[in-house]
Structure 1
Amino acid sequence: MPRTRAKRFTPPSEAIEPPRNAEVVIGVVSMTVLVLVLGALSGSLVWLLGLLVFLPGTASALCTVRQTLFVSAWTTVAVIVTVVIRHGDGASWVDRTLMMLLTLTLGAASVYACGRRIRREHEMLRIRSTAAAMQRHILRPLPLLTDDALVDGVYEPVQEDRLVGGDIYDVVASPWGTRVLIGDVQGKGLPAVGAAFAVIGAFREAAHREPTLTALADALDASVVRHNSYAAQTGDDERFVTALVVNIDAHTEVQVINCGHIPPQLLHDAAVSTPALASGVPLGLAELATEPATVDWFAFPPGATLLLTTDGLTETRAADGTFYPITERLAERVSLSPTDLPRALYDNARAFAGDGSQHDDVAVLSVRRSPLH
């Protein structure tokens, strides 16, 4: 059995990277020295101390609570000592007293605001990490091996605010061959994850029950419809799911049913081709279709690789808005092994985007006939 790979989740405390203590000390001391020098040159040191008052506020947005407390304490001491020593530079005691009180108040408020910010960030990180961990628990780690197929690939859930998506995949060894599912739930957030779980649960049950892919697609569509009816009762938006279901058995051809998803890519003999498939409506919208979903067949010889993706890869954009040229980049990497190809495409797409950010889930699967045959 091939070795499984699981992504390591970063704990919330490690995901936040405040500046190092040395950087905070150097920054605060440098700002203090700058104010003192400018005050000595201009002769209005007490008024220039107002610049230091804003340091704790800046620290509360970037630093830890301890670092913010240090900045607040440093600023308070610097202002009070300077105001007391420089009693003869024209400022009244009322102004001096107000400046000291303002410094104390803003320092305390900054420490409080920093604590609130960090607690909120930790909570958001816990929610996002939990949602992504739930996805990975439901989506079994790759690679997956059956008597008919070996499925490998990469799955990367996005973990930004409100961007927990709903890319799904699964592999079931049924009495009629190995069935591979890849799909993408419309929308993002936890409701999208809920729809994704509904489809996966229906696939795992119906793949063993339904002898045809059309009946399997009908069962998946019904699961989305049921999920939407429950969502409507709670005020959530209805969802649809694009999906591609592949059936691989001992025959030289594979069966595919496309429910509004991205077509697969076939790699064989150093060539890349896109099988011609009839595209049906996404799951959850079957009632709107004028014709029932149809099953397509195409050759899948030994040694060939079938690449399945979601739009997280194909809709990756460069800074100028250009979409990721998957066919071109795939042709350049056709010599890679099926194990290495999905990760190579994913890394290349991230480099193509340029900013290093990820705005959608990405699922890339490579499917080839099982070495057990």
Structure 2
Amino acid sequence: MTDEEALRRRQLLRIRGRSVAWVVPLLLLLGISVVDVNTTERFRIISWIVLVPGIAAALCGLWTTAAFAVLSVVTYVLVDSIWFNQYQVGWSDFVLVALGGALATLACAIRLRGEKRMLHMRDIAETTRRTVLRPLPPGWAGLEHAAAYLAADTEARVGGDFYDIQPGPHGTRVLLGDVQGKGLGAVEAAAALLGTFREAGYHEPDLATVAARLEIRMGRHRHHSTALGRDDGDRFATAVLLGFPVVDDGTVEVVNFGHEPPLAAGPEGVRSLPPGDRLPLGLGELVPAGDPPRPTRVSLAPGETLLLTTDGVTEARDGRGVFYGLADEVARAVAADPRAALPRRLVRLVRDGVLRHTGGHLQDDTTIFAVSRLEGV
């Protein structure tokens, strides 16, 4: 059982904010005592009381566990002394109960130290993620948006998924991507790309220039990592860059760097945007010289929402190895209720679908991001 599962279990043993975890070892202690006293001498189970501090060590705090360790020894002596000398369990089991209580208290201290460290690391990961993925105000830059981030259960480290919306005098730009790998190296690469996107997305009039700046930044980051002697100098990132013009003309510009193409969901159904012809960011040296990014202009119908996901969605599999059918599930939901294409509903639909399909066991960090133009903006 992981530390996080243990924390969730302890949270369940609370009533109105107060812990009732002590009830479980107390009931066990009383049960063993009552059964031992009310059975014959052929069924002596008082030595089972050694289980009480062990249960307390798994559920309770340090001082509560120590209290149960002492209480178990005292209860053992009192119950055993009730019997005639020839039926008493004796000192051998007394030592077992006392030693079991001491070891349980030590195990509780180790468990609590591990939980504290795990919570600290989780807070660091959450703070890091929030630093990279800054909160976006509602209706930011004239776009209705929604997002969900699901951390994989196979890694304790933060991943490299990233997204942002950057308004500017030349329109609103949207970026979503996934840096290969995990850990701080992936976070550093994501932060570098987002920093460049926020500056170039605001200042540059052409989306192609923004895309080129992202490619240059990833190349510089790779060279810097290599110069430092790190083993992540070959890191790359897939990404989708969108450009919404200042005046809504019913179109959006798209530059796809080796990422899964976005889905457009609306009252008329669900369709996939054209796949990009660019390699992932960081592999620019493989592109022929003089071949700059060329955005693709795509028409958007009124009410259509663009759904962007990382490969945690497209590569989600169930226990039989079957991949999650993202497009089919979204199409069914929109056909049943056109309002399912709204960003918040769409993100919630995909999030719940992925968790249901995988049984909650994600193999990769998963980001689901949906944007659409606000009506009348």
| TM-score of the pair, normalised by structure 1 | 0.81
Letter of the aligned partner of 1:132 in structure 2?
A: E
Q: C-alpha separation between the residues in 2 aligned to 1:127 and 1:141? A: 21
Do residues 361 (structure 1) and 365 (structure 2) align? yes
Q: C-alpha separation between the residues in 2 aligned to 1:276 and 1:253? A: 14
| Residue in 2 that maps onto 1:3 | none
Shift of 1:182: 0.6
Q: Structure 1 residues 317-326 or 357-366, which shifts more?
A: 357-366
- 3-state DSSP class of the match of 1:258? strand
- 3-state DSSP class of the match of 1:156? strand
Shift of 1:32: 4.2
Letter of the aligned partner of 1:184 in structure 2?
A: D
Shift of 1:223: 2.9
Letter of the aligned partner of 2:264 in structure 1?
A: L
Q: Structure 1 residues 321-330 or 74-83, which shifts more?
A: 74-83
Q: C-alpha separation between the residues in 2 aligned to 1:203 and 1:309? A: 18
| Residue in 1 that maps onto 2:16 | none
| Residue in 2 that maps onto 1:241 | 237
Do residues 153 (structure 1) and 146 (structure 2) align? yes
Do residues 192 (structure 1) and 186 (structure 2) align? yes
CA 1:18/1:247 → structure 2, altered by over 3 Å: closer, same or farther?
Answer: closer
CA 1:121/1:227 → structure 2, altered by over 3 Å: closer, same or farther?
Answer: farther
Shift of 1:350: 2.1
Q: C-alpha separation between the residues in 1 aligned to 2:47 and 2:213? A: 68
Shift of 1:183: 0.9
CA 1:254/1:133 → structure 2, altered by over 3 Å: closer, same or farther?
Answer: same
| Residue in 1 that maps onto 2:60 | 63
CA 1:26/1:257 → structure 2, altered by over 3 Å: closer, same or farther?
Answer: same
Do residues 320 (structure 1) and 325 (structure 2) align? no
Shift of 1:228: 3.8
| Residue in 1 that maps onto 2:50 | 53
| Residue in 1 that maps onto 2:17 | none
Q: C-alpha separation between the residues in 2 aligned to 1:338 and 1:247? A: 18
1:79-135, CA deviations, whole angstroms, 9 ceiling, x for partnerless residues? 3334555563378xxx94443333223312211221221122122122213322332
Shift of 1:368: 2.0
| Residue in 1 that maps onto 2:375 | 371
Stretches of structure 1 lacking an aligned partner (at least 5 in a row): 1-9
Letter of the aligned partner of 1:345 in structure 2?
A: V
Correspondence list, 1:174-193, <5 A: 174-193=168-187
Correspondence list, 1:102-181, <5 A: 102-142=96-136, 144-145=138-139, 149-158=142-151, 162-181=156-175
CA 1:195/1:31 → structure 2, altered by over 3 Å: closer, same or farther?
Answer: farther
Tell me the number of residue pairs that the alignment of Structure 1 and Structure 2 aligns. Answer: 354
1:49-83, CA deviations, whole angstroms, 9 ceiling, x for partnerless residues? 44332442343233332442243223222333345
CA 1:153/1:194 → structure 2, altered by over 3 Å: closer, same or farther?
Answer: same
- Asked whether the 8 Å contact 1:268–1:303 carries over to 2, the reply is yes
- 3-state DSSP class of the match of 2:151? coil
| Residue in 1 that maps onto 2:279 | 281
Letter of the aligned partner of 1:56 in structure 2?
A: P
CA 1:98/1:24 → structure 2, altered by over 3 Å: closer, same or farther?
Answer: closer
Identity of aligned residues (%): 32
CA 1:237/1:74 → structure 2, altered by over 3 Å: closer, same or farther?
Answer: farther
CA 1:368/1:352 → structure 2, altered by over 3 Å: closer, same or farther?
Answer: same
- Asked whether the 8 Å contact 2:28–2:52 carries over to 1, the reply is no
Q: C-alpha separation between the residues in 2 aligned to 1:151 and 1:253? A: 16
| Residue in 1 that maps onto 2:354 | 349
Stretches of structure 2 lacking an aligned partner (at least 5 in a row): 14-19
| TM-score of the pair, normalised by structure 2 | 0.80
- 3-state DSSP class of the match of 2:371? strand
1:186-214, CA deviations, whole angstroms, 9 ceiling, x for partnerless residues? 22333322322222112112223444334
CA 1:267/1:365 → structure 2, altered by over 3 Å: closer, same or farther?
Answer: same
- Asked whether the 8 Å contact 2:70–2:101 carries over to 1, the reply is yes
After superposing on structure 2, the runs of 4+ consecutive aligned residues of structure 1 that deviate more than 6 Å are 12-15
